[in-house]
Amino acid sequence: MALVENGQILEAPDDPDEWPYNTVLEAMADGWKVVKFPEMALLLQEDQTFGFGCEFILES
């Protein structure tokens, strides 16, 4: 997870137990909007992946 606020990258907890949400759906329920969905095609061949197939970008 990465946090960017006003163009500044903020330090985010490495431990998922300390993240504010456990799922993207929880963040959406709290008012966050998904501005980019993952490129699911990247998951089709795990041995030839050249990006993050599970990356969501959210904004509040």
Q: pLDDT at position 55, please?
A: 78
For the chain, the domain total comes to 1
State mean pLDDT over 24-28: 93
Tell me the average pLDDT of the chain: 82
Residue 30 belongs to what domain range?
3-59
Residue 41 CB contacts under 8 Å (≥ 6 apart), including other chains: 53
| pTM for the whole structure | 0.62
pLDDT tens-digit readout, 36-58: 877 766 666 666 656 666 777 77
Q: What is the DSSP letter of 46?
A: G
The C-alpha atoms of residue 34 and residue 37 are separated, in whole angstroms, by: 7
